Structure 1
Amino acid sequence: MSTPLTPLGNVHHAAYRCVDAEQTRWFYEDLLGLKLAAAFEEDIDFGENLGRNRHFLHIFFELADGNYLAFFDEPGISKPEHFGRKDSFDMHIALETESLETLKAWQDKLNAAGKTCLGPVDHGFVHSVYMYDPNGIQVEITCRAKNGEAIMVEEAAHAREALAAWTAKTRPQKESVFGAERLDKRGRG
């Protein structure tokens, strides 16, 4: 008898590479107020055919909900090109605060600390401010709009139709860039 699958409940942690653990700690702990929860020095063979184990420090910052942001400090194979500013569509971290007033207070604090914190941007369902961490990752602080939950319920009602329409509209462009095989990988690799 196999174990029944239960729905996945939450993100335990999201992990990223960092330039320097101490610089990353300063940003996430001193500026953003997240608790440094762990720092594991590890030496692990992930089976990546590197010819050696990966030696790194894995640091964790605890969020208010008990989940974590984690970072790998691995100077043995890290390169400067790993840390250019990421386009926010490629990677960003969005941390939630409880109100627009608190969001603006965070923005004031971060700007006063010398971080360029842009926004607030009204996305309809949330309001957000943006900055970059020391590793080139865009960090968003966001709060739900007063009617944000209602907007999400309304969007859920037609999300599949919107996705199907977008797929039909953009498929030819994507095929010319990526090829049909790349777009049809369901269940393969």
Structure 2
Amino acid sequence: MQIQQIHHVAYRCKDAKETVAFYGRVMGMELIGAIAEDKVPSTKAPDPYMHIFLDAGAGNILAFFELPNSPPMGRDPNTPDWVQHIAFQVDDVDALMAAKQRAEAEGLDVVGPTDHTIFKSIYFRDPSGHRLEVAAWTATPEQLAQMKSVAHAMVDEWAVTKKPPRHTAWLHQKEFADAE
């Protein structure tokens, strides 16, 4: 299989109109399409939906489904709240700080910036409760090469021990030191 790029990533939303407005106003994303049907095309199951598509830049599409006949949205109670998130990239740290100001001006509770050494990021939630991350790269080519060079060894060690390998501990040493 030769993947060219991600076509779209789809999530559920509570309200399609509110979601379009939020992502347009806060994230600068344009609504580029909508599909609505009474039946699911792939399964033929009767389940009315509104499927919206937002331009996330550089050929990336973020999509949402509003499902009025399904039970209310919920989260997997066995997955920590911080795990599932959508991360968006901006040009630089100045753009990241501008995104933070924009989100705070909307009354959103913004966490960060968090310094991951190779990038800095902020976090907040959309109207459906999805955790969003906005990130700006700060990595050097050497740092990225160092991470890549140990990635397989880390996964292999984790598979055996289920304890965090320390190969890339340098990424958050400063962040954890500042918290102490």
Q: Where on the TM-score scale, by shorter chain, does this alignment land: which range?
A: 0.7 to 0.9
Q: Which amino acid aligns with 2:156?
A: A
For residue 75 of structure 1, report the CA deviation from its aligned partner. Answer: 0.6
Cα RMSD between the aligned structures? 2.2
Q: Hey, what does 1:99 align to over in structure 2? A: 92
Tell me the TM-score normalised to structure 2 length: 0.82
The answer for the alignment partner of 2:12 in structure 1 is: 17
What residue identity is the alignment partner of 1:36? Answer: L
Percent same amino acid among aligned pairs? 29
Query: Which of 49, 53, 65 is equivalent to 2:46?
Result: 53
Q: How much does 1:44 deviate?
A: 2.6
The 3-state SS of whatever aligns with 1:140 is: strand
Contact 1:93 1:138 in 2 (8 A): yes
Q: Deviations over 1:69-104 (max 9, x none)?
A: 0000111114143599x7121x10000000001100
Normalised by the length of structure 1, the TM-score is: 0.78
SS at match of 1:81: coil
Instruction: Report what 1:187 is aligned to.
Output: none
Match of 2:57 among 59, 64, 76: 64
Aligned to 1:161: 153
Correspondence for 2:30: 35
C-alpha separation in 2, matches of 1:65 and 1:22:
24
Give the number of the structure whose alpha-carbon radius of gyration is greater.
Answer: 1
2-side partners of 1:63 and 1:80: how far apart? 23
Contact 1:83/1:136 (8 A) holds in 2: no
How many residue pairs align between the two structures?
A: 161
d(CA) in 2 for partners of 1:135, 1:82? 11
Moved over 6 A (4+): none
Give the match for residue 178 of structure 1: none
Give, in whole Å, the separation in 1 of the partners of 2:142 and 2:53: 34
Matched to 2:82, the amino acid is: S
Structure 2 regions of 5+ residues with no counterpart?
164-180
What secondary structure is seen at the aligned counterpart in 1 of 2:108?
A: coil
